[in-house]
Each structure stands twice: as C-alpha cells, then as structure tokens.
Homo-oligomer: A and B are copies of this chain.
Amino acid sequence: MTSQAQTSTRREELLAIAAELFATKGFKNTTVRDIADAAGILSGSLYHHFDSKESMVDEILSSFQEELFGKYAEIVAGDADPRAKLDAAVRVSFEAIDQHRNEVAIFQNEADYLGTFDRFAYLADRNKQSRDVWHALLNEGVSSGALRQDLDIELVYRFIRDTVWVAVRWYRPGAKLSHTDIANQYLTILLDGITS
C-alpha cells in the first residue's frame, strides 16, 4: 500500500517538481496535470509513484521537518551560552530557507489549511515543538541576563519565527545577499535595534 521512500531517483525528481509548483502556485492551485506536464509525463502516470496528490505534500513536508527539527534539537542540547544558541537557531533557520526554499514556502502557506485534516495533524505538533524550542532559548537568555527582562517572551517568539520564515517570500539563493549576510543583519536588528 504505502510506497516506502527509497533512493529512487525518479521519485525524488517528481517530488522536487511538485514541491516547486506547490511552493509557487499553492497546493490547491496546482493540479496533478500541472505536475505531470512539468515532468513530461501524463497525469495518470504519477499514480505509479504516489498514492495521491496529498501524499506528495505529506512526504515533502514531513521529511523536511524531520531534518530541521533534528538541527534544533542539537542546538538546544548543546552547551553554548544562551546568546550563541539563539544565534545558532536563527542561522539554522535561514540556512533552511536557503537550502529548502520550496519546502519552507509550502509549510508557511499551507500548514494552516492542511492542519485541519487528520493526516496532517503532525504539522500542529511540530508547531508546538518549535514554540517550545524558542521559548526555551529565550527564557535561558532572560535568566542569564543576556536579554532584557521587560519582554513578552511569547510575543518575541512570534516576531522571530514570523520574520525569519517569511523571508522565504523574497529570498532567492545566489542573490546579492547570502543567507549568512541576511542572518547577520537580522541578528543585529533583533539584538540591538535600529536606532543609533
């Protein structure tokens, strides 16, 4: 029934093509015929590789998230000081935007809607998990005295999360500013503000 993920090249090619379309046009806006056209085959042939259109996004999103949260876990478990951890988490996020643009975009745009289906309940879990990570880092920062005491942690978390991820809307790899440049500027603003 459920086709297992293999090292099948063709399968990954098709997923990449689908991801590109889902990211730019949206999941519902992308038809299986769109995907098949882009791949140079007929729409029905997609069903040799996948159960359904839904299972394609599913595979795209879940495999990406597994990778990303692995990195977050490493940072949290590490023994760097609070500020360095916050720094690292921000950098890992911009790195993800650089290397998995489509996956990030799909998650940003479709998570809310897809999350209403049982199949994609794990998206909400991941969201909660992410919140825990950032709260932990921010609280560490406040306790250690590295961050200001008068901040609403939940609000700061949301600002960081949103501002980081939403960059996927305009960031393009190979542009003037690398993802590292952007992370630098962002951390500067976040940590020290824009006033002189």
Contacts and interface: CB of A to CB of B under 8 A. Distances in A.
Nearest to A145: B196
Contact of A170 (B156, B158, B195): B158
Interface of A: 25-26, 28-29, 83, 109, 112-113, 145-149, 151-152, 155-156, 158-159, 162-163, 166-167, 169-170, 177, 182, 185-186, 189-196
Q: Rank and list the top 9 A-B pairs by shortest CB-CB distance, nearest first.
A: A193-B193, A192-B193, A162-B166, A163-B163, A148-B196, A28-B28, A191-B195, A191-B193, A166-B166
Contact of A25 (B113, B166, B177): B113
A155 to B, nearest CB: 5
B146 A196 contact: yes
A172 to B, nearest CB: 13
25 contacts: A25-B113, A26-B26, A26-B113, A28-B28, A109-B109, A112-B169, A146-B196, A147-B195, A147-B196, A148-B196, A151-B189, A152-B185, A155-B177, A156-B189, A156-B194, A158-B167, A159-B186, A159-B189, A163-B163, A163-B166, A190-B193, A191-B193, A191-B194, A192-B193, A192-B195
A121 to B, nearest CB: 18
Contacts of A29: 28, 113
A149 to B, nearest CB: 7
A147 B194 contact: yes
A186 B191 CA distance: 13
Contacts of A196: 145-149
A194 B190 contact: yes
Contacts of A145: 196
B162 A167 contact: yes
